[in-house]
Structure 1
Amino acid sequence: MTEQQPTALVTGASRGLGRALTADLAADGWRVVVDARHGDQLADAVAGLPGVVAVPGDVADPSHRTELAEAVDDLGGLDLLVLNASLLGPSPQPELADYPLDVLEQVYRVNVLAPLGLVQTLRPLLRPGVRIVAITSDAGAEAMAGWGGYGSSKAALEHLGAVLAIENPQWRVHVVDPGDMRTVMHQEAFPGEDISDRPEPETVVPALRALVDGDHPSGRYRAADLIPAVTS
């Protein structure tokens, strides 16, 4: 990690894990560029946080990715890229045989093509030792009924991360399954159910910081396997 003030870009930072991680990084002295589709929600999420630059927009839009790169360039480069923005798809989740293909195309555009497009756009700005953290799901590693659309998009993201790591050994590419969390997206995935027993996103942040601040090799990680290492 760079000795100068570190800089991160966190997508999908208006709520959930992206919001929690942004607050933690800002409190620790990082400069953080953030985005989300809803500018008002993003502004509320980062209000009062030092060193945070909000760039609202849709990460699936190439022009928005260029705006993010310009914000990063203004800060002199990037030490951490967190690919957190995701699209669940229909709620409740349909089986694949009934999945609207136009909706599935949009899920892939946000969950697969946009992260890769962002890496490509930011490539000249990635500092030595950069960490790239892609947020995945257990649905990306296991076949689950009703999760074929979202899950297959995360499986594709995981494979992209693995190949990027092989092709770019100078980067640390971490694919992270945060586990179930008490988030808006998780509630949308289980409409009408009580998810109050799920942990808050803030409980996952120490696992992400273990990867960001540590010396873990590129690979897939479960947050549950990382958190004991930082809390014991």
Structure 2
Amino acid sequence: MTNTALITGASRGLGLALARSLAAAGWRLVLTARGAEELEKAAAELGATAIAGDVADPTHRARLAQAVPELDLLVNNAGGLGATPLPHLADYPLDVFDELLTTNVVAPLGLTQATLPALRRRRGSVVNISSDAATGAYEGWGGYGATKAALDQLSNVLAAEEPDVAVWWVDPGEMNTRMLADAVGAEEAANAGDPAAVAAALHDLIKGRPASGRVSLP
């Protein structure tokens, strides 16, 4: 039986790298991201299904859930950085923080809720992409880190409530991605890890299916 994965934020970075790794192993993939052109290109490369849209939109989440009546893996990878340049919390614009909470916390929880029936049927897995900013006090990263800390705790409780579904909240470390470049500059980001190497480690985690918990990669 072919395994099916739904990956958000799959048009570039870690999402695309993981999609490539899973496709090479024969997985059926449903990919989503906001940028339709990049997403269609990735899907064409991998023989995947592309459903462009914003996971913060409940209608889009419902459409994704309908596309995966049987699901082995949900990867909540899509997320936002928030305000840039990274502000101190004393100056953090609350309207931006509210949007970031929706993108980084409400959206992955909503998609998890929508796909849980399919995941339960297949004793599937959920991967929520976290960050070391969820646990470390890094200047300027308070808004983003707070959303990832919230996602960690949601994952922790989900693991306790859904014993038949493996749940991992994963800190991938710094990667050379557009998001990191937006935060620290392209030159510094270029020295960060390769998303493909992190994706390989994440694929090994998925195959090994350890107990639910927080994982740091690679």
Among candidates 123, 139, 147, match of residue 133 of structure 2: 139
TM-score, structure 2 length as denominator?
Answer: 0.96
Q: Which amino acid aligns with 1:57?
A: G
> 2:32 aligned with 1:39, yes or no?
no
Aligned mate of 1:110, from 66, 89, 103: 103
Match of 1:49 among 46, 51, 67: 46
Deviates more, 1:155-164 or 1:115-124: 115-124
Rounded to whole Å, the distance in 1 between the matches of 2:165 and 2:191 is 36
Do the aligned partners of 1:180 and 1:198 also contact (CA within 8 Å) in 2? yes
CA-to-aligned-CA distance 1:168-213 (integer Å, 9 cap, x gap): 1111100110001100001001136432221210010122112211
Checking the alignment, whether the CA contact within 8 Å between 1:7 and 1:32 is kept in structure 2 is yes
Structure 1 equivalent of residue 147 of structure 2: 153
Query: Which of residues 198, 209, 216 in structure 2 aligns to 1:215?
Result: 209
- 2:123 equivalent among 120, 125, 129: 129
Secondary structure in 1 matching 2:169: strand
Give 1:190's aligned amino acid: V
Query: Number of residue pairs matched?
Result: 217
Comparing 62-71 with 121-130, which one deviates more in the overlay?
Answer: 121-130
Q: Is the 8 A contact 2:17 2:199 kept in 1?
A: yes
Unaligned runs of 5+ in 1: 225-232
Task: Give the partner amino acid of 2:44.
Answer: A
CA distance in 1, matches of 2:98, 2:185: 23
* 1:6 partnered with 2:3: yes
Alpha-carbon separation, structure 2, partners of 1:195 and 1:53: 30
Aligned-pair identity (%): 51
User: 1-side partners of 2:122 and 2:2: how far apart?
Assistant: 14
Indicate whether 1:78 and 2:71 are aligned: yes
1:58 paired residue among 45, 51, 54: 54
Residue 163 (1) aligns with residue 157 (2): yes
Structure 2 spans left out of the alignment, 5+ residues: none
TM-superposed CA distance for 1:144, in Å, is 1.2
Of 199-208 and 62-71, the range deviating more from structure 2: 199-208
Please list the CA deviations of residues 31-66 of structure 1 after superposition, one character each: whole Å capped at 9, or x if unmatched: 01110011011112222212x110000000000001
Residue 95 of structure 1: aligned partner: 88
Cα offset, 1:114, TM superposition: 0.4
Q: State the distance in 1 between where 2:211 and 2:188 align.
A: 37
SS at match of 1:78: coil
Is contact 1:23–1:46 with CA below 8 Å preserved after alignment? no
- SS for the counterpart of 1:129 is coil
Q: Determine if contact 2:81/2:144 at 8 Å carries over to the other structure.
A: yes
Give the alignment's Cα RMSD to 1 decimal: 1.1
